[in-house]
Amino acid sequence: MSILKWEALRPQELLIIAAILVALFGERIWKRIDKENKKKKIKKILLIPLERLQHDIIRIRDERNQTGSNSSVDRQIIFNQTSFDEIKNHSYLFTDIIIPYIDYLDLPKESKTIDFFTHYNKNIATLKSRIENGEGYLTLGTVNNLLERLALSIQELN
């Protein structure tokens, strides 16, 4: 039996072969393309608020805490009610975007993004428990650690 030559195939035979290939692999290819497009959109949706959160935390750490030039890791970073409100409302990213669309994100087993949100939620709970008279604090070491984890999360999503 001789090997079929593509040039020798009639147009009807080529259409039949194409239809068979589409029937066999078309849905898989479409799902893969759709998943990649959704993955890009979801990551883009996540990156914008994460970068804003990073900017806000850095601003609170550096600009609003100028007093006390002690560079000790134990130095307290003060969060007043406004600065607390600026950073506390990012939990929705985890509950409303990451968890429901986890299959699309294809995050690694040791995801930096999941690690960041785990520590973020702990730090927000700690800060909330420390708020008295409209102010609370986290240590400089805790804030820097959170910023490092956030930077790794942003890098993972890029």
Question: Domain span at residue 46?
Answer: 9-157
Measured distance CA(70)–CA(96) in Å, rounded: 39
Domain assignment of residue 117, yes or no: yes
For residue 70, is pLDDT > 60? no
Q: Give kind and range of the element (H or E) at residue 140.
A: helix 140-157
- When pLDDT is cut at 50, 70 and 90, the band that residue 119 belongs to is very high
For residue 145, is pLDDT > 90? yes
Comparing CA positions, the residue from 78, 76, 96 lying closest to residue 87 is: 78
Domain assignment of residue 94, yes or no: yes
- Number of compact structural domains in the chain: 1
Q: Determine the 3-state secondary structure of 101 from DSSP.
A: coil
Measured distance CA(79)–CA(72) in Å, rounded: 18
- Tokens for 26, please give them: 């078309």
Domain assignment of residue 2, yes or no: no
What average pLDDT does the structure give for the chain? 83
pLDDT in tens, 120-135: 999 999 998 888 888 8
pLDDT in tens, 42-65: 888 888 989 999 999 999 988 867
pLDDT at residue 73 in the model: 56
Q: Which of 28-42, 63-77, 112-126, 133-147 has the lowest mean pLDDT?
A: 63-77
Domain assignment of residue 130, yes or no: yes
Q: Which of 61-65, 67-71, 146-150 has the lowest mean pLDDT?
A: 67-71
